[in-house]
Amino acid sequence: MSTTSSHRAVPVAPREFPTGFFWGTATSAYQIEGAWDEDGKGPSIWDTFAHTPGKIRDGSTGDVANDHYHRYQEDVKLMKDLGATAYRFSISWPRIFPQGTDTPNAKGLDFYSRLVDELKAAGIEPFATLYHWDLPQALQDKHKGWQSRDTAKAFADYAGYVAEKLSDRVKHFFTINEFRTFVDAGHHGHEAHVAGGTLTILLAPGLKLPGGELNQVRHHAVLGHGLAVQAIRAKGKAGTKVGPAEVIECAVPLIESPEHIAAAQTATREANAPFLTVMLEGKYTDAYLKAAGQDAPQFSDDDLKVIASPLDFVGINVYKPAVYVLASEQAPGWRAVPFAKSHPKMFNAWLALGPEAMYWAPKFVQSLWGAKEIFITENGCASDDVVADDGTVYDTDRVVFLRAYLTQLQRATADGVPVRGYFQWSTMDNFEWTAGFGNRFGLVHVDFKTQKRTPKMSAAWFREAAKRNAVV
Ligand code: PNW
């Protein structure tokens, strides 16, 4: 990728992001750490799930994964080489509280403390997610996990404890990653709409609850978020910032004219009713409650106040349009446009290509809810990566994907949408839940037999974009 000076320069207008924009990558604890039973860690529902034969496509587990628990120093160095200025990682709740509550495990906290020091020394800003799906198994056994309010309360206690211990160095906390995914896919079976049909994804704890119970789990998850926001404010140092990291269901206008844009905004608000909308508005929408009928969640006005605790920022994971829409004369004022059978998708089956989601998602978060700060907490794709004979991973599809999405994100910041940073998913290939090690999302390739890390072509692309603070 060197240039030869004999070439004549081609002037290209820069497409820059605002000054101070964070260029990050993201991971989560269970997907990379390994060391599943070391240093006093308790088992999580993901340990149990992955150890159950037949749950993971290739029979793999996160027992070792990227062995990041032992190799975090090498991995921070990789991030520095990527030119990243921020890193979003998650904290394993059962490392901190092996039983979910009561006695903390000092060794568990110490790992994250060392990681944070290493990041800061490398000039990388740490962003910590408190829940990326690895619930302590003890709470699943004792309370049926998120089926109980007790789990929401236990989550807040844990969140407050971590904020108290780490907020001297960690200034940004995300409460929960992807409410919709772990709730719906973990407790019901989540229907992911893909080009050419739907795909049912089942995650830990692998329950198939009926509608009413599912809605109650959804309610407990947003309640846990709100209680955690309050606990972090109570226990964290002044200036600690907090927000969710939700996978927004973004309705994208197929045609960008005012009536279709307004219709897509309405559809987006409704599609997020049980998660972002209730967190940001403090009420369930009438349409959500009406559609749920007898299956509506049980809640109090106090719950709604807690759920809507004021936030410092909104984090959104953006992968694809939930749906393309057009305005309609008929209720609810918009209609879904089905994905064409030939609609392009990435290597992972559910990822329909739709870069405009990266414009409309933050745009609607601002227009609907007036968010003061927004982070793109995840975006990326899997590729069928192989290390070529020359040692290079030629992931041209990922480069094209990232450029297309960041072009739309730059369009949003140029419009004045207050997006403060972007986290590419993922720093390196890792344990992709039920897909095992088959779906590689990293900027860095990992050979899971040898743990060798090899930066891909996309890593070079990311470094250049971060360096120029612009789409490249
Ligand atoms: C996210 N969908 O999951 C998670 O936060 C990550 O842990 C995961 O590795 C990453 O995205 C890639 O899958 C998603 O069906 C799972 O639309 C499914 C969907 C989106 C995100």
Instruction: Report phi then psi at 149, rounded to 5.
Output: -65, -25
Distance CA 62, CA 41 (A): 14
- 356 catalytic? Reply is no
The minimum-distance atom of ligand 1 relative to the CA of 433 is 9
Helix 106-121 / helix 149-166 crossing angle, nearest 10 deg: 50
* Any ligand 1 atom below 6 A from CB of 69: no
pLDDT, tens only, 217-272: 999 999 999 999 999 999 999 999 999 999 999 999 999 999 999 999 999 999 99
Atom 8, ligand 1: residue with shortest CA distance? 432
Nearest CA to 94 among 132, 49, 53?
A: 132
Distance CA 71, CA 33 (A): 9
User: Using an 8 Å Cβ cutoff, are 133 and 30 in contact?
Assistant: yes
Backbone angles phi, psi at 302, to 5 degrees: -65, -40
Catalytic one of 33, 118, 125, 178: 178
Q: How far apart are alpha carbons 123 and 315 in whole angstroms?
A: 22
Question: How far, in Å, CA of 90 to CA of 175, rounded?
Answer: 10
Which residues, 6+ apart, have CB-to-CB distance to 140 below 8 Å?
Answer: 45, 48, 205
Amino acid at 419: V
For ligand 1, whether the C-beta of 319 sits within 6 Å is yes
pLDDT for residue 4: 63
Sign of the alpha-carbon torsion through 64, 350, 402, 2 = positive
Alpha carbon distances (Å) from 269 to 230, 272, 357, 361: 25, 6, 14, 11
Within 321-395, where are the H helices?
Answer: 357-369
Query: Distance from the CA of 233 to the center of ligand 1, in angstroms?
Result: 28
Contact partners, residue 283, CB within 8 Å, separation at least 6: 304
Q: Check if 134 has its Cβ closer than 6 Å to any atom of ligand 1.
A: no
> What is the C-alpha to C-alpha distance for residues 21 and 465, in angstroms, rounded to an integer?
11
| Alpha carbon separation from 290 to 273, 285, 294, 296 (Å, rounded) | 12, 9, 9, 8
Per-residue pLDDT of the chain (472 residues; tens, 9 = 90+): 555 678 999 999 999 999 999 999 999 999 999 999 999 999 999 999 999 999 999 999 999 999 999 999 999 999 999 999 999 999 999 999 999 999 999 999 999 999 999 999 999 999 999 999 999 999 999 999 999 999 999 999 999 999 999 999 999 999 999 999 999 999 998 777 666 677 778 999 999 999 999 999 999 999 999 999 999 999 999 999 999 999 999 999 999 999 999 999 999 999 999 999 999 999 999 999 999 999 999 999 999 999 999 999 999 999 999 999 999 999 999 999 999 999 999 999 899 999 999 999 999 999 999 999 999 999 999 999 999 999 999 999 999 999 999 999 999 999 999 999 999 999 999 999 999 998 999 999 999 999 999 999 999 999 999 999 999 9
Do strands 323-327 and 334-337 pair parallel, antiparallel, or not at all (unpaired)? Answer: antiparallel
Tell me if the pTM is above 0.95: yes
CB 158 within 8 A of CB 232: no
Encode pLDDT of 387-431 as tens digits: 999 999 999 999 999 999 999 999 999 999 999 999 999 999 999
315 CA distance to ligand 1 centroid (A)? 14
- Contact yes or no for 127/169 (Cβ under 8 A): no
- Tell me the two tokens of residue 449: 């037999």
Q: Is the CB of 28 under 6 A from ligand 1?
A: yes
174 lines ligand 1 (CB under 6 A): no
